Chain A
Amino acid sequence: MAHKSPRLFASPTHPIFTHFTIALTASSLVFDGLGRICNVSSLAAAGWWTIVGAVPAAIGALASGLTSRRRLAMEEGAARTWLRAHMAIGPSFLGGLVASAIWRASLWLETAAIPWAYLVALGAVVAAMTVQGYLGGELVYRFGAEVRERYEKLPNEREPAGEPARRSRTRPA
């Protein structure tokens, strides 16, 4: 049974927020790293503004992840285990990102050079994000979370020979 959600939240918005988070956080690390190595101030400025954008995107990802989870009926099994790991790492990643953003803000306010320690810390945050993204990708592309139950056959589509009719893995027919 699908929840009656407002139209804005009826579609899965979680992938939108997560992809912005991934792009902005990874870009911030790259810009700050290049800015440090090449000593180019405009790259450092780009590193600051991208992490500023990453924080609200990550908060949106967390909120939309919860609404997605609320919609998703998923039975116990491998997918659910992966989902729980995904749910545990999400806020931890957000904490790391917020802490990095506060550190970066203090550097920006003091117009100080980016220390290597900051780059290492942000690298750890990006590593956590990579694990989180991998888990999310597996949930969608392997287990079909929020995808399979939305699958609709094309009018002229046939099942492959010898295969049963397609059904959702996560939702009973």
Chain B
Amino acid sequence: MTSLVSEPFLWRWIAVATAVLTVIVIGESWIGHYRSGFPLRAQYAPLVGGMALATACVALALVPRVEWVRLAVRWAGWVAVFTGVIGAGYHHYYGIVEKAGGYRWLLHHLMYGAPQLAPLALSTAGALAVLASEGVASAAVSPSASVPRLALAVVAIALAGAVAQTGILHYRGAFNTPFMYAPLALPPLAALGTGWLALAPAVGLTGVVRVLLWATFLLGFVGLGMHLRGLDRQMGGLHVFLFNLLQGPPPLAPAVYATLAGVGLLLLRAW
């Protein structure tokens, strides 16, 4: 292991990746909530909480030894966790329960209503931030320590959630290109592998999981390109910027795969 990715740098890099993930979540939630016209004040919560979290994570990466910075990251992280969970409740209530047809039109609302699992991306970022803060404090990088294993478990669960949300939305998009099957093929295997390593940190499996995470990392960038292409397939393309940004595929969402895989790869440096 090299100096720049060993303790305490490992957790500082994870803080950077968490900040990037948070910025992606802020961007996507702004697009989604702007599209609906911010009818509820609560729709500003992920933007405010996310900005606080991203700022705190950057501060942790820069000055990890300052106690109040670690405390701020913990606070911002827990706020983000709860904001995401409450957001999921909002999305469930206003996206399914209150809609005409309710649960009887479940598939329709899952596809066309508020994305049910999207707010939990903020919870993921919050959980990773809290663990990064704990990791910096305890300097834990060994697979036998609880903090890295917990972080790996968070990555596995978040990848599984991202796959589920992608599955619904790509189904809505009628899998109009074969590339749309890719996020349902590679990341589930990566989620299984990271989950397995979190539960039983067996060294033998590390190489396979690392390859799967690298593939997921690259897939995130390919998805970014494909979503840009999707935006440009609409009438006027990106020349009619705001309209097509709101109506097309979520432009930043595939990058969530890349950041989660990045966090997983960083954690595997310790394995």
Using CB atoms and an 8 Å cutoff, list the residues of chain A in contact with chain B: 66, 69-74, 80, 83-85, 87-92, 94-96, 98-99, 105-106, 109-110
Contacts and interface: CB of A to CB of B under 8 A. Distances in A.
A151 to B, nearest CB: 19
B221 A87 contact: no
Contacts of B112: none
B28 interface: no
A80 B237 contact: yes
Given A95-B258, A99-B217, A109-B4, A69 B225 contact: no
Given A84-B232, A106-B2, A69 B217 contact: no
A94 B221 contact: yes
A69 B222 CA distance: 19
A12 to B, nearest CB: 15
Nearest to A73: B239
A83 B241 CA distance: 16
B221 A109 contact: no
16 contacts: A71-B239, A80-B237, A83-B232, A83-B237, A87-B229, A87-B232, A88-B226, A90-B225, A92-B218, A92-B224, A95-B224, A96-B218, A96-B221, A99-B214, A99-B217, A99-B218
Interface residues of B, number: 22
Contact of A91 (B4, B224, B239): B224
A66 B239 CA distance: 10
B270 interface: no
Q: Is the interface of A mostly helix, strand, loop or mixed?
A: helix
Given A70-B239, A92-B225, 7 more contacts: A83-B232, A91-B221, A91-B224, A91-B225, A92-B221, A95-B220, A109-B3
Contacts of A85: 229
Nearest to B221: A95
Contacts of A94: 221
B192 interface: no
A164 B225 CA distance: 39
Contacts of B233: 84
| Most A C-beta atoms less than 10 A away, residue of B214, B221, B241 | B221
Given A91-B222, A95-B217, A70 B238 contact: yes
Interface in B210-253: 214, 217-218, 220-222, 224-226, 228-229, 232-233, 237-239, 241
